[in-house]
């Protein structure tokens, strides 16, 4: 029962921090250290709760996703082009995940890496104070899609916020806030799905009790992910997104001190 409770708490952490620009992966590492728990064998648990937040994206952007699917099937040019840009934006993360998977997994055991990456996340989020604008492009260019994808690839590291870096990149490249959020989260949805597919074979080796922990954690991540996603879009609309930089800097600094003492 204690393990399930810890999994629920970690799922809540994942759901809240996946969409807010503070790094869900970094917070999962910190939460696991504080709780003395590592459910789902570390990265497997993280992928499971990431898939749960994928469903939160599907629910939140359901109309846009259905429109894209319908447009792609019927050959609509705009839909095909947008889908193509999502694919282009996904390639950098796929390349990094395949080439450096084992090295990346090792970084999830380092509080030092998490602290440094959280501080870097703070700078990325702070940059939006100067790049956010009410008016901008509704769709990224092909080059912008690739660069946003590179930002997502960097965010595979624990402590680098995927939503923070991709939205910061999108805003700097001229997208309006809502378009930046939409492209970022649809891009993330593909990455999360890919990560889940890569780890599907490992599900066969999970003990029944461990599977229960993952299921409860994933449900918590879904519910709180929807709440955080709603808050994220509101923050962009109100142009208060940059305030999370202070949070990332503070938590990153505390984590560095923790790692060094």
| Per-residue model confidence as pLDDT tens digits over 54-70 | 889 899 999 999 999 99
How sure is the predictor about 202, in pLDDT bands with cuts at 50, 70 and 90?
A: low
Q: What is the mean pLDDT of the chain?
A: 86
pLDDT at residue 38, rounded to an integer: 54
Query: Which residue range(s) make up the domain with 153?
Result: 2-260
> Cβ(238)–Cβ(12) under 8 Å?
no
Measure the CA–CA gap between 204 and 181, rounded to whole angstroms: 35
User: Encoding tokens for residue 192?
Assistant: 């999360």
Residue 106 has pLDDT above 80, yes or no: yes
Residue 105 has pLDDT above 70, yes or no: yes
| Per-residue model confidence as pLDDT tens digits over 145-170 | 999 999 999 998 989 999 999 999 99
pLDDT at residue 198, rounded to an integer: 66
Over residues 240-244, the mean pLDDT reads 88
| Number of domains the chain is built from | 1
């Amino acid at each position: 029962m204690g393990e399930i409770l810890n999994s629920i708490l970690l799922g809540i952490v994942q759901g809240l921090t996946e969409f807010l620009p503070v790094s869900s992966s970094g917070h999962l590492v910190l939460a696991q250290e504080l709780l003395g728990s590592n459910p789902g064998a570390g990265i497997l648990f993280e992928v499971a709760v990431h898939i749960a937040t994928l469903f939160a994206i599907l629910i939140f952007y359901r109309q846009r996703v259905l429109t894209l699917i319908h447009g792609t099937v019927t050959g609509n040019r705009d839909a095909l082009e947008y889908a193509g840009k999502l694919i282009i934006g996904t390639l950098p993360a796929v390349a990094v995940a395949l080439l450096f998977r084992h090295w990346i997994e090792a970084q999830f055991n380092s509080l030092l890496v998490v602290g440094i990456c959280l501080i870097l996340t703070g700078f990325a989020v702070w940059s939006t104070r100067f790049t956010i604008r009410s008016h901008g492009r509704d769709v990224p260019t092909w080059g912008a899609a690739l660069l946003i994808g590179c930002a997502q690839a960097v965010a595979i590291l624990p402590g680098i916020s995927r939503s923070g870096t991709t939205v910061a990149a999108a805003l700097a490249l001229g997208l309006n806030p809502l378009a930046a959020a939409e492209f970022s989260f649809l891009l993330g949805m593909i990455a999360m799905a890919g990560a889940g597919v890569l780890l599907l074979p490992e599900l066969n080796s999970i003990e029944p009790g461990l599977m229960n922990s993952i299921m409860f954690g994933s449900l918590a991540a879904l519910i709180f992910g929807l709440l955080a996603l709603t808050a994220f879009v509101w923050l962009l609309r109100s142009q208060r997104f940059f305030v999370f930089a202070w949070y990332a800097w503070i938590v990153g600094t505390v984590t560095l001190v923790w790692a060094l003492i």
